[in-house]
Amino acid sequence: MKQKLVLLLSSILFVGLFANNSFGQDDQTVYVTRTGAKYHRVTCSYLRQSSIPMKLSEAVNYYGPCSRCHPPVLNN
């Protein structure tokens, strides 16, 4: 019973992670710095000094994706 519960919860988490990256990408929040030219994931180590939240759809117009954290990109 415990194994089935762990498997079920793991499956839900796994699907949730991929669903977040596939649907509604332009509504995702990414982060930029005051002086940088790239946008980042919230977990990126380059965001130590500053992190300004921004919608992905807006960020792609002014910034490029970070090569370290590989944030989402819009598929047009």
For residue 4, what pLDDT band results from cuts at 50, 70 and 90? low
Beta-strand pair 64-65/52-55: unpaired
Domain ranges of the chain: 2-65
Contacts of 73 (CB under 8 A, 6+ apart): 25, 60, 65
Beta bridge partners of 65: 39
pLDDT in tens, 8-52: 666 666 555 554 444 556 689 999 999 999 999 999 999 988 899
Is 70 exceeded by the pLDDT of residue 53? yes
pLDDT of residue 60: 95
Task: Report pTM.
Answer: 0.65
For residue 5, what pLDDT band results from cuts at 50, 70 and 90? low
3-class DSSP state of 19: helix
Provide the sign of the torsion angle of the four alpha carbons 28, 64, 52, 59, taken in this order. negative
